[in-house]
Structure 1
Amino acid sequence: MTARIDHLVTSGTFALDGGEWDVDNNVWIVGDDTEAVVIDAAHDAGAIEAALGGRTLRAIICTHAHNDHIDAAPALADATGAPILLHPDDLPLWKQTHPDRDPDGELADGQELSIAGTVLKVLHTPGHAPGAVCLYAPELSTVFTGDTLFQGGPGATGRSFSHFPTIVASIRDRLLALDPDTAVRTGHGDSTTIGAEAPHLDEWIARGH
């Protein structure tokens, strides 16, 4: 059976640098009828486990370690036995939310994760966070971008651990090099495509945020 992409939206709070904001997060589930991975276990472990529908969860993959993308990860890991995977550069952010629980494994640029016969290639795309990654699934013509690239531009870089020139370089060098038809499935909001976003790179740079 070919891997498919299931989508769940969960709601909660994003907290950083002393501020809090209500947010809706996209949770992506990639797999088939028997096994899956979860990309970004946000806010509601019970809802994510229910969406798995009894499938074996092979991994909980974190695109980055802002609290709204990882707050439900330990509970989901405890419920399913799945390992939590995070790029090590985001460990300081992870520790702000989960000081007493480390991730179970590391993500590295170029690493390939296989689920249901489909490969997810890890692309290290720092800028929104030091250890931010995107997950490219060529067989599904999809890249899961977390908060690195949205419909309309780069993720925010106005808070701790973020850097605008770095995120622009990550998007230009790692993401815009993908096929223009590649679907961009984001951490928040609507999906887009590489081809829809690529023409606007110079506008983003001029805007400078």
Structure 2
Amino acid sequence: MPTPSPTSAAGRRPNRRGETTRTHVLKVALQVLSSGRPDAVSVNLVARQAGVTWGTVQYQFGDADGLWAATLDHILATAGPTVWARPTAAAVPDRVAELIELVWAALGSNYYTARTNLQSNLAATRAELEAEYPRTATALDAVDEKLADQFEYFLSDLPVSPLAIQRVCAFVPTALRGLHAEHTFGFPIDVEAALVGLRDAVIAYLVPTATGPAEPQPVVVERDH
């Protein structure tokens, strides 16, 4: 089923020019949010960078909540293989290595940076976020649910205990986010060693101990240039 075209905040379906403007603003919003600027979470900044007026933003999205929610929807629609992917490996060790590489790459993408900036800068608590930016809170949940589904999807068909998969899906994404946050902040961390250790620990947990963990390919980490 084709995805329905978005409507403006005024409830009217935009013409081709309006759709072009809307898409342009969303692309700029993603770029601004992922830039690392201290003032990145700013509707006025997005409007200036996009070369549109506040009235245009208001017409297309209604308010800041509408813009940020639409930006998160844009991430879901456009992230593609950068974040969402299908497994190619069949063996448990190689599948785990593939998944960790995928998640690590996703954490370094503009999409995840934008999502993290929104969550950390819009409100101090979840309750405040839901009260002040209800549509954005819902859209954040949709992105996080997609990420969780992706992680479980990568492991669900493996010949291992479903309970073990459930537990791995619960702790490994959090561990990777924590490692990535500390690496991004500049702590002196041996990222390669940490990722290999996490990978081997997960493999040892999932693979029957009688056979022991196999030797998958090394985890690939893109170094900062």
- TM-score past 0.5 threshold: no
Higher relative contact order (CA 8 A, sep 6+): 2
Structure number having the greater helix percentage: 2
Which of these two proteins has the greater Rg computed from alpha carbons?
2
Q: Which has the higher strand share?
A: 1
So what's the TM-score if we normalise by structure 2? 0.27
Return the TM-score normalized by structure 1: 0.28
